Amino acid sequence: MTVEYESYGLPLDEYQLSRADHRRQSEADEIAAWVERQVAKAPPWSEERYQQLQALLDSHTAPPPWEYMRWRVRLYCGHIQEIERHCRDARPDRGTQDTRCSECGKNPSVIVAFEVIGAVAEPPKAPKTKSQNTTSRRGRTSRRTKADLEAENSALRAEVERLRRSDTK
């Protein structure tokens, strides 16, 4: 599956916030406030419940670094950051549309412009395997025919039989 990465605006250029940007930021702020109210209403967790959650989170393994892409993004607050998203995602603002700004701390701060930079890391190279038809030092192939194998088998059997006879004497 090939992903065609999208870009929107130029994060490093001047950027004028649009009405859609203001609307998305307002929605993100409302969602964050609603979540905080819900969490405040929730009953406290026992130590056992925390440990169960921790065990569940510890059992999850993060994908390797070569499965992530680096993106340059401009946030609603105006700051520019580099973030990472899974390589399946054609846009960094899908799914997780809000981001905490590492400079001013605004949380959430929606992504208003973005461009792909590249992979976080290169995947490891596959180990080289020797092919069946390798060439020996003399230039002939090392692949043997059925007749060669049968002749060698007969010679080895004769050698084993000879050794048996000499051992019994």
- In tens digits, the chain (169 residues) has pLDDT values of 688 998 998 888 889 999 999 999 999 999 999 999 999 999 999 999 999 999 998 888 888 999 999 999 999 999 999 999 999 999 998 866 568 999 999 999 999 999 999 999 998 888 877 655 555 555 555 678 888 888 888 888 888 888 877 776 6
pTM, two decimals, is: 0.66
Question: How far apart (Å, rounded) are the C-alpha atoms in residues 23 and 34?
Answer: 16
The per-residue b/e assignment along 11-36, b for 16 or more CB within 10 angstroms, e otherwise, is beeeeeeeeebeebbeebbeeeeeee
How many whole angstroms from its chain centre is CA 36? 31
